[in-house]
């Protein structure tokens, strides 16, 4: 049985890793309000993904939640220094969170 | 007369039992607050659960009485009564969750924690509270319980091994494979499917890996990768648009009859089928955009592929490898499960 499986695998296995085809920036997919931090959000977030999922958190997340998310995104490769991280977090919590002004 | 009465009573009970159970596909919608229930035979939406924002993972109690969902926005595991479709409990979690699974006896739900220090939250479904946290040393994307119920399997990012297996009895690590191959934070293990030996024990794991357009086959007993299948490629102008989030192939499942394995290609907007155990290529079925997850009707007649970018579910006739229906659901449908609900 294992021999059959291996034979099948040899037949269909033509190459190994596939490189991610990345755009430089993705369309955000939502209209971002003009405010301090918008450019940073566009630069740091849309290099990997759209922003269509962001509004779903609006009724639930404040600054601390968004800070945890931004920290997680930095682990995933977002490039932000310490000051920029705070600016992005404030922007998200103000416009897509419970810290609306 | 007495015998007739007994027979009638038995028939009534049998009839009630038959009508009280319903095979459904539970479809999450990752950018939405609603979850949809699709009848696995009629392929119609028969119910909707509200109030679970950014719902990620789904699981069903073995007796069909309850459903469980992780909410990334509320950072909770929500318990839903399967008959009323009302949320009965919102159980706080350690940090933002991803996918979930449930043990074979239904006592514990295993919640992958993606934010903070990661790990797996263990929720007691009877007490309706988190009772344990498994420290994996990694961010956990998906959890699975092996078909025999003996192990909890995590697909992770970071840490020392991205396919991390724990005893379901002791929650101690059994083994760990696939160390990260780069410093890329998205380097890790994605969805995992299983098949079984005749005695019900786990035979192989079918493992999707970041940046691999296909899957690996891992012998569960020896923990060794015994092969790798790469999905067909298509011309660039026929590919689905990015982003692919480092997962060109995301979503994999073994049909309940264990005759076929089905694999979602985000790159190609296609679901591919292979025979088991021969792993013979059977063909591909063009579906909606960015197929992300796949589940099956209990009779292995239909496969249901959730299309994350076109907000619909493709119903595939397994025998003919054709898409027979496309069902509009919520925003960004991803994880789905097959469940028998008590309704």
Predicted local distance difference test score (pLDDT) of residue A53:
92
Percent of chain B with pLDDT over 90: 90
Q: How confident is the model over B53-71, as a mean pLDDT?
A: 98
Q: Which residue, among A30, A47, A60, A73, would best test binding to B if mutated, counting the most B CBs under 10 Å from its CB?
A: A60
| Residue partners of A68: CB distance under 8 A and separation at least 6 | B95, B96, B115, B116
Predicted local distance difference test score (pLDDT) of residue B8:
40
By the CB < 8 Å criterion, does A36 face chain B? Answer: no
Residue A14 lies in a domain: no
**Dihedrals φ, ψ of B182, to 5°?**
-155, 175
Q: Which residue, among B278, B283, B284, would best test binding to A if mutated, counting the most A CBs under 10 Å from its CB?
A: B278
Using 50, 70 and 90 to split pLDDT, how confident is the model at B20? confident
pLDDT tens digits for range B206-224 = 999 999 999 999 999 999 9
Helix (H) or strand (E) holding B13: helix B2-20
Predicted local distance difference test score (pLDDT) of residue A56:
93
In Å, how far is B45's CA from the nearest CA of chain A? 23
Q: How confident is the model over B194-216, as a mean pLDDT?
A: 97
Work out how many CB contacts closer than 8 A connect A with B.
112
Over 80: is that where the pLDDT of B1 sits? no
Task: Name the closest residue on chain B to residue A66, using Cα atoms.
Answer: B73
Tell me which residue in A4, A19, A56 faces B73 most closely, judged by beta carbons. A56
In Å, how far is A36's CA from the nearest CA of chain B? 24
Chain B residues in contact with A73 by the CB 8 A cut-off are none
In Å, how far is A37's CA from the nearest CA of chain B? 22
Nearest to B174 by CA among B221, B129, B132: B221
Tell me which residue in B53, B248, B267 faces A56 most closely, judged by beta carbons. B53
Q: How confident is the model over B9-33, as a mean pLDDT?
A: 72
Using 50, 70 and 90 to split pLDDT, how confident is the model at B4? very low
Using 50, 70 and 90 to split pLDDT, how confident is the model at B175? very high
Over 50: is that where the pLDDT of A15 sits? no
Over 60: is that where the pLDDT of A18 sits? no
State the Cα–Cα distance between residues B236 and B268, nearest whole angstrom.
9
Over 60: is that where the pLDDT of B10 sits? no
Tell me which residue in A12, A52, A53 faces B281 most closely, judged by beta carbons. A12
CA atoms within 13 Å, Cβ hemisphere of B10: 6
Using 50, 70 and 90 to split pLDDT, how confident is the model at A23? low
Predicted local distance difference test score (pLDDT) of residue B3:
40
Of residues B13 and B27, more confidence is placed in B27
Tell me which residue in B73, B184, B227 faces A13 most closely, judged by beta carbons. B227
Binary contact (B248, A20; C-beta < 8 A): yes
Tell me which residue in A10, A21, A53 faces B332 most closely, judged by beta carbons. A53
Q: How many domains does chain A have?
A: 1
Predicted local distance difference test score (pLDDT) of residue A16:
38
Residue A49 lies in a domain: yes
Percent of chain A with pLDDT over 90: 59
pLDDT tens digits for range B220-246 = 999 999 999 999 999 999 999 998 989
First-to-last alpha carbon distance for chain A, in angstroms, is 65
Q: How confident is the model over B176-201, as a mean pLDDT?
A: 93
Residue A11 lies in a domain: no
- pTM (two decimals): 0.90
Of residues B282 and B5, more confidence is placed in B282
Using 50, 70 and 90 to split pLDDT, how confident is the model at A2? very low
State the Cα–Cα distance between residues B37 and B28, nearest whole angstrom.
9
Predicted local distance difference test score (pLDDT) of residue B183:
80
Residue A10 lies in a domain: no
Over 80: is that where the pLDDT of A12 sits? no
Chain A residues in contact with B96 by the CB 8 A cut-off are 68-69, 72
Residue A23 lies in a domain: yes
Strand-by-strand arrangement of the B322-328 sheet: B291-296, B302-307, B312-317, B322-328
State the Cα–Cα distance between residues A73 and B318, nearest whole angstrom.
39
pLDDT tens digits for range A37-54 = 999 999 999 988 899 999
Q: How confident is the model over A11-19, as a mean pLDDT?
A: 40
ipTM of this predicted structure:
0.78
Binary contact (B96, A12; C-beta < 8 A): no
User: Please, where are the H alpha helices in A1-101?
Assistant: 2-12, 38-45, 63-75, 82-95
Predicted local distance difference test score (pLDDT) of residue A17:
45
pLDDT tens digits for range B126-164 = 999 999 999 999 999 999 999 999 999 999 999 999 999
**Dihedrals φ, ψ of A22, to 5°?**
-115, 140
Predicted local distance difference test score (pLDDT) of residue B11:
42
Residue A8 lies in a domain: no
Largest CA distance in chain B: 77
Binary contact (B212, A18; C-beta < 8 A): yes
Predicted local distance difference test score (pLDDT) of residue A85:
97
Give the CATH number for residue A62: 1.10.760.10
Task: Name the closest residue on chain B to residue A61, using Cα atoms.
Answer: B73
Predicted local distance difference test score (pLDDT) of residue A92:
96
The domain of A51 spans 19-95
Using 50, 70 and 90 to split pLDDT, how confident is the model at A70? very high
């Amino acid at each position: 049985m294992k021999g059959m499986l291996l034979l099948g695998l040899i037949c269909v296995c033509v190459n190994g890793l596939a490189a991610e085809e990345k755009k430089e920036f993705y369309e955000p997919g939502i209209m971002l309000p003009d405010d301090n931090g918008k450019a940073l959000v566009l630069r740091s977030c849309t290099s990997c993904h759209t922003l269509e999922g962001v509004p779903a958190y609006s009724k639930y997340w404040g600054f601390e939640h968004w800070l945890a998310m931004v920290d997680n995104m930095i682990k995933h490769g977002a490039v932000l220094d310490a000051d920029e991280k705070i600016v992005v977090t404030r922007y998200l919590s103000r416009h897509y969170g419970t810290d609306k002004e | 007369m007495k015998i007739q009465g007994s027979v009638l009573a038995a028939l009534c009970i049998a009839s009630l039992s038959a009508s009280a159970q319903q095979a459904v596909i539970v479809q999450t919608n990752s950018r939405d607050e609603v979850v949809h229930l699709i009848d696995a035979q009629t392929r119609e939406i028969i119910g909707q659960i509200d109030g679970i924002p950014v719902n990620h993972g789904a699981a069903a109690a073995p007796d069909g009485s309850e459903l469980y969902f992780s909410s990334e926005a509320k950072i909770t595991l929500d318990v839903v009564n399967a008959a009323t479709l009302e949320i009965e409990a919102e159980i706080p979690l350690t940090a933002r969750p991803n996918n979930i699974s449930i043990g074979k006896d239904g006592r514990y739900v295993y919640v992958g924690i993606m934010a903070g220090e990661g790990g797996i939250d263990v929720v007691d479904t009877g007490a309706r509270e988190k009772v344990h946290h498994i420290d994996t040393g990694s961010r956990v994307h998906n959890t699975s319980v092996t078909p025999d119920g003996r192990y909890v399997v995590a697909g992770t990012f970071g840490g020392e091994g991205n396919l991390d297996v724990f005893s379901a009895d002791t929650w101690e690590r059994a083994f760990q494979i696939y160390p990260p191959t780069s410093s890329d934070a998205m380097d890790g293990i994605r969805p995992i499917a299983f098949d079984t030996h005749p005695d019900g024990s786990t035979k192989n794991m079918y493992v999707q890996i970041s940046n691999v357009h296909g899957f690996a086959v891992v012998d569960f007993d020896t923990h060794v990768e015994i092969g790798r299948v790469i999905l067909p490629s298509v011309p660039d102008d026929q590919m689905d648009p990015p982003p692919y989030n480092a997962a060109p192939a995301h979503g994999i499942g073994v049909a309940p009859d264990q005759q076929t394995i089905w694999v979602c290609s985000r790159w190609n907007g296609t679901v591919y089928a292979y025979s088991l155990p021969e792993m013979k290529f059977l063909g591909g079925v063009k579906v909606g955009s960015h197929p992300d997850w796949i589940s099956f009707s209990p009779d292995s007649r239909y496969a249901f592929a959730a299309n994350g970018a076109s907000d619909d579910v493709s119903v595939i006739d397994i025998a003919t490898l054709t898409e027979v229906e496309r069902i509009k659901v919520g925003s960004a449908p991803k994880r789905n499960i097959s469940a028998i609900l008590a309704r």
